[in-house]
Structure 1
Amino acid sequence: MAGIRGIVDGPDFVALPNDLWDAAQHPVPSGPHWQQGVTWTDWCGGAGTTYADECIAVTGTGGAVPAAPPIEPTASGVDRGATAFTVHAAFDCSLIGLPDVDQAAEALARNEALQVSRAFWSGQAGGQATVWPHLAADATLDDPQGIRLQTAADVVQATTEDAAVALGRLEAALAEQYGGLGVVHVPVVALATLKARSLVHRDDAGGALRTPGGHRVVAAAGYTGTGPDGAAAPAGSAWLYATGALFGYRSDIAVRDFPGTFDRSTNTVRKQASRTYLFGYECAHLAALMTLGVPT
């Protein structure tokens, strides 16, 4: 790299905001075993109402009050599972210079968030469908033990609709099916439309993007906007997804070299930096198709 021009440091790399990892809760792992996958129980469903018919009879209603209906289960426990996947960056590393870990972190930082969010949207890692659960899915999948790895997205708006209508239907379904703060997953191409319609805003706490209903918005670089069947959205539109609360694990950066790739002419050896991720979410898994652009 020697030459007549001086060697300087390039600009600092700044990661894009509204990332998938930042929107997830980060439970403290008890060890590395989460990298083999995890299982948990979701209590999905709701509550109901009833009444005490004898109390109503005393206060008077102008007629006989039927007996209160029997109380039936309103919520159910679902055993859910999630699988891990690994993001890697390979590079030719000089044996003289910066420490390996610095070079590894720099190599991963340039593309890590994009690859993580693309895997979580599509379910693809290394060209194979191995990332569960993921967003763009139209079928359920259970493992041999009956653990639910994947749910089919509940499509609340199947045809192209105004952004406000599509997002409103997502939020309404999320309120009904989950009842808590969830996550709305937005492809980058749709973010400007939502912002132009004042459908997303930054909260006062940490600057995170929120919907009118207060749900966290993820607009990750790798979100492609494809539908539950994996097909591209019609021209001028994009798919949105919503889930219950999101959690994630990730490992430290691991670096390994390949001595057989040592190049004596440049004193470099091929190295690989990698990090393993796992994501899961609660109960709701919703999809809606929205129109891009601001209507006149």
Structure 2
Amino acid sequence: MAGIRGIVDGPDFVALPNALWEAAQHPAPSGPHWQQGVTWTDWCGGAGTAYADECIAVTGTGGSVPAAPPLEPTTGGLDRGATAFTVYAAFDCSLIGLPDVDQAAQALDRSEAFQVGRAFWTGRAGGIATVWPHLAADDDLDDPHGIRLQTAADTVLAAADDPAVAIGRLDGALADQYGGQGAVHVPVAALATLKSRSLIRMDDADGVLRTPGGNRIVAAAGYTGSGPDGSAAPDGSAWIYATGALFGYRSDVTVREFPGTFDRSNNTVRKQASRTYLFGWECAHLAALMTLGVPT
């Protein structure tokens, strides 16, 4: 960059809140092997109730308490897996004028949250379906060893309805199927609609957005609002999803320079900054179609 005007620093980049990485738990990796994919066991399902034995007194029945029924399995383990994907930024960087600034790393910082959200929603990296699990999915997928890489989203609301109905269905289904604090994934454009109906509350301590049921709202840049089959939502509506608790891994940023791309006429060289991610979730995978817009 050359010219008569002085070179200054631009404004600091501030990432949007309630992004995917911030919403995920971050287990300590045991090494770099997670980048080849991970496997874990989900214990999903339910529990039952029983009474202790025939010594329980039942008042007013006029009879004895029957023997307790035998205990049956209520839950089972499911081996699940997740694959990693890499986001990158690459362009031609000036070798003079900005000696203390790594332009490629700065470019990655500005774009990676969008690319991460897009890959996690659509399952596509580099234009190919290789990101598992992802949100917009309507079929199960197992690897050759029987590990469940992808679950089909359970659609709890297939026709566009009021956002209160959609959020209520997802909160209720999460409570039934998971029972713990999960995540509700919404496009950024849907936040105003949810706010207009008081369907979002913010934790005072950390600024985290939550549904009325207490589940975390993830509004990642890059979330498309597309349906489980990958098609765009009808005009005036958006698909939203819910999952059990999220976890994720990410690598450090790697910056590479390609000397063979040096352009003497412009004094530039190609640089690339990249980072690898992996995400997974527990048990529930739900979808609902909500109407966009303010109340009438």
The two structures have a TM-score, normalised by structure 1, of 0.96
Report the Cα distance in structure 2 between the residues aligned to 1:15 and 1:51, rounded to whole angstroms. 53
After TM superposition, list the pairs within 5 Å mapping 1:16-55 onto structure 2.
Answer: 16-55=16-55
Q: Match for residue 180 of structure 1?
A: 180
Question: How many angstroms does 1:99 deviate by?
Answer: 4.5
Instruction: Mark the runs of 5 or more structure 2 residues left unpaired by the alignment.
Output: none
- Asked if 1:63 corresponds to 2:97, the answer is no
Question: How far did 1:105 drift?
Answer: 2.2
Aligned identity (percent) is 81
Deviation at 1:60, TM superposition (A): 5.9
Could you tell me how far apart the structure 2 residues matched to 1:3 and 1:103 are?
19
The question of 1:227 aligning with 2:227 is answered: yes
* Residue identity matched to 1:68: A
Distance (whole Å) between structure 2 residues aligned to residue 58 and residue 103 of structure 1: 76
Residues 67-106 of structure 1 mapped to structure 2, 5 A cutoff: 67-96=67-96, 97-99=98-100, 102-106=102-106
Tell me the secondary structure at the aligned position of residue 54 of structure 1.
coil
Please show how residues 197-236 of structure 1 align to structure 2 within 5 Å: 197-236=197-236
TM-score, normalising length: structure 2: 0.96
**Correspondence 1:190 to 2:190:** yes
Q: Determine the structure 2 residue equivalent to 1:294.
A: 294
Give the CA deviation at 1:98. 3.1
State which drifts further: 57-66 or 220-229: 57-66
The alpha carbon displacement at 1:2 in A equals: 2.7
Range moving further from structure 2, 119-128 or 211-220? 211-220
**Runs in 1 of length 4+ with deviation above 6 angstroms?**
none
Considering only aligned residues, what root-mean-square deviation do their CA atoms show, in Å?
1.5
281-290 vs 88-97, greater mean Cα deviation: 88-97
Deviations 1:129-149 (A, max 9, x none): 000000000000000000000
Residues 126-275 of structure 1 aligned to structure 2 (within 5 Å): 126-275=126-275
How many corresponding residue pairs?
Answer: 295
Q: Answer yes or no: is the 8 Å Cα contact 2:225–2:238 preserved in 1.
A: yes
- 1:285 aligned partner: 285
* Other-structure match for 1:111: 111
* Structure 2 contact 197–295 (Cα < 8 Å) conserved: no
Structure 1, unmatched stretches of 5+, are none
Q: Give the letter aligned to residue 63 of structure 1.
A: G
Residue by residue over 1:243-282, the C-alpha shift from the partner in whole angstroms, topping out at 9 and shown as x without a partner, is 0000000000111122221111222110111000000000
In the alignment, the residues of structure 1 paired with residue 20 and residue 282 of structure 2 have an alpha-carbon distance, to the nearest angstrom, of 15
Q: How far apart, CA to CA, are the structure 2 residues paired with 1:98 and 1:17?
A: 31
Q: Distance in 2 between matches of 1:172 and 1:62?
A: 39
Within 1, Cα distance between the matches of 2:241 and 2:230? 13
**Quick one: distance in 2 between partners of 1:93 and 1:168?**
49
